[in-house]
A and B are shown apart, each in its own frame.
Chain A
Amino acid sequence: MTMPTALHTEFEDIAALRLALDQRRVSASELAKSALAAIEASDLNAFLHVDPALTLQEAARADAAIAQGSAGPLTGIPIAHKDAFVTQGWRSTAGSRMLANYTSPFDATVVQRLGQAGAVSLGKLNCDEFAMGSGNENSAFGPVRNPWDTQAVPGGSSGGSAAAVAAGLAMATTGTDTGGSVRQPAALCGVSGIKPTYGTVSRFGIIAFGSSLDQAGPLARSSRDLLALLDPMSGFDERDATSLEYCDSTPNAAGRIRADYEKFQAGCHARDSQPLAGLRIGVPDEFFGPGIAQDVDTTVKAALQVYESLGAQLVRVSLPRTELSIPAYYVIAPAEASTNLSRYDGVRYGHRTATYGDLEEMTGRSRAEGFGAEVQRRILIGTYVLSHGYYDAYYLQAQRVRRLIAEDFQQALKQCDVIMGPVTPTVAKNIGERRDDPKADWLADIFTLGVSLAGLPAMSIPCGFGHSAGTPRPVGLQIIGRYFDEGRLLAIADRFQQVTQWHQHKPGQAEIQGR
């Protein structure tokens, strides 16, 4: 018996699928049914909750809109949401036992906006518990398998989001990125993903982890598909206190990123065979040091050569505090997590222990049972660094180092227009590998944390495969921009994808060679 394949995988991108829907060559309901069947047959554990009735209802609405000629840009496109976003219909667990049965009374803004744009949701995607992890092994509901090699992790924390796109279970997905959680799984699963500038996408309805770091971003096959999701997702939201009303002088609203994207593309067209002539790409020395695996190093450098062939100029830059982003992040993120997660007390919602005496015992046992090992570790570290006598030495010091790191990026981005480098030091590790050493995953976050601390936009696009693990595993190229440069980043990534095929490779369809 062959595995059922989702119908949408026959279309190159969202634009092609959009056209087929509008020309009635395929219906939203057919797409949804075939995707649900593929999800049902998949053994990747990418989805945590599927509700066919809800999905088919959304699909029927999409078909009605198409019939009436009132289809939006995403009407009928099958997507799925990371379980860190709350949804009214589907359960919202954040990958935690604490929220195993939680259903939200409202939709996250991101979910609402993509729904309004017509997208059909296939359900909720597995992730590391409360988005804490880099391999999706910290989910209370089991690890997700990497479609390229089911022995490998898909990355994390948005592991289900990346795996679902790579396996063709959804056309695109949403993720959240606190320290790399969109970029890193995108890289390890060979798909594209972007984390926009902090404050451009609403955090309302994202189950909170580190509030000064959390940002939502889409994952999809191509940069063009990312644009199709990110543009309507972004925009000011009064329900998020840190949501920006303006991005410099431009209102933070749908259309902003698309306008920047099109403006950049128009400039490229004028330059013909050297579309990126004049573009300065900063290559930080610190991203190509001894910590990076040979196969990743070679693959990323080959991608940089492709950019050179498009007319871009490579410039050596320095991000001298790259290594310090690890301790700074792992003070700030746990501090914010310990504060955010104090809401789980077993009173209003979430897990409550079966037997208890007084209130303190009820809360203490509920939290010990409801939170997994990594979440408990981070809460304890956060409690420590925020406690009396240590606050100045750890928390404030980390915030000072955070500013220095952000200033390093500002300095580097004066010498170049974008920064490029690897997303991860190695290809995906095996599921279960180094599980006895919690520090190992933290150290592997080295190339993504600085961007998060600085609040900059950055993305990952597939640029080849590494072979150090025996089987071919995807490698991602990270592209980091100035504040609010999402549109430009997506256009620069698209220029790479116009001349390479890495983003079109599919797991199981062997032949991995050339571009």
Chain B
Amino acid sequence: MSLTETDVARFAKLARIDLPQDKIEQSCTELNDLLHLIERLQSVDTQGVEPMAHPLSAHQDVALRLREDTVTEEGSEARRDALTLNAPALADGLFLVPKVVE
């Protein structure tokens, strides 16, 4: 199938990327070209094949580790300051965003 401009606008919205109309038109052409490449997957017979999420599962059983649910880093004001150093807008150690609740 090929994507329409309406589809692209919807996926851009889902991906939280504001695309102006001219970019949507351009993206639509490019994406359809790339999706054409991907379409080839549909012709592969994969009946009974388990989807592979972890590459080493072709070699061994893979179980992701879990850690103890304990505090691993102590908090402090200095630590907070270090971690919020890159914030675009900050006040009293809090991230500032536009009002979301009236």
Residues of B within 8 A of A439 (CB): 33-34, 37
Q: Tell me whether A406 and B11 are in contact (CB under 8 A).
A: no
Given contacts A327-B38, A327-B41, A352-B89, contact A347 B95 (CB under 8 A): yes
A396 beta carbon closer than 8 Å to chain B:
yes
Q: Mark A225-238, 1 if CB is under 8 A from B, else 0.
A: 00000000000001
Q: Tell me whether B97 and A347 are in contact (CB under 8 A).
A: yes
A365 — nearest CB in chain B belongs to which residue?
A: B18
Q: For A380, give its contact among B8, B50, B54 (CB under 8 Å).
A: B8
B82 beta carbon closer than 8 Å to chain A:
yes
Q: For B86, give its contact among A212, A330, A350 (CB under 8 Å).
A: A350
Q: Tell me whether B85 and A401 are in contact (CB under 8 A).
A: no
Given contacts A367-B16, A371-B17, A404-B46, contact A453 B37 (CB under 8 A): no
A510 beta carbon closer than 8 Å to chain B:
no
Given contacts A105-B83, A324-B41, A380-B17, contact A400 B31 (CB under 8 A): no
Given contacts A347-B88, A439-B33, contact A403 B50 (CB under 8 A): yes
Residues of B within 8 A of A351 (CB): 88
Q: Tell me whether B17 and A376 are in contact (CB under 8 A).
A: yes
A338 beta carbon closer than 8 Å to chain B:
yes
Q: Tell me whether B58 and A380 are in contact (CB under 8 A).
A: no
Q: Tell me whether A368 and B41 are in contact (CB under 8 A).
A: no
Q: Tell me whether A396 and B55 are in contact (CB under 8 A).
A: no
Given contacts A241-B65, A361-B18, contact A383 B11 (CB under 8 A): yes
Tell me, in angstroms, the Cα distance from A3 to B33 when the chains sit together: 45
Q: Tell me whether B44 and A397 are in contact (CB under 8 A).
A: yes
List residues 40-97 of chain B with CB under 8 A from any CB of chain A. Answer: 40-42, 44, 46, 49-60, 64-65, 67, 82-89, 95, 97
Q: Tell me whether A324 and B44 are in contact (CB under 8 A).
A: yes
Q: Mark A335-360, 1 if CB is under 8 A from B, else 0.
A: 00010001001111111100011111
What residues of chain B have their CB less than 8 Å away from a CB belonging to chain A? 3, 7-8, 11-19, 27, 30-31, 33-35, 37-42, 44, 46, 49-60, 64-65, 67, 82-89, 95, 97-98, 100
| A–B pairs, 15, beta carbons within 8 Å | A101-B86, A102-B86, A342-B15, A347-B87, A347-B88, A348-B86, A352-B88, A376-B19, A377-B30, A377-B34, A384-B35, A397-B42, A401-B44, A401-B46, A402-B55
Known contacts A324-B41, A338-B15, then 7 further A-B pairs from the complex at CB < 8 Å, ordered by chain A residue: A324-B40, A326-B37, A358-B100, A394-B41, A403-B51, A406-B55, A455-B55
In order of increasing CB-CB distance, the 6 nearest A-B pairs are A455-B55, A399-B51, A349-B86, A364-B18, A352-B88, A406-B58
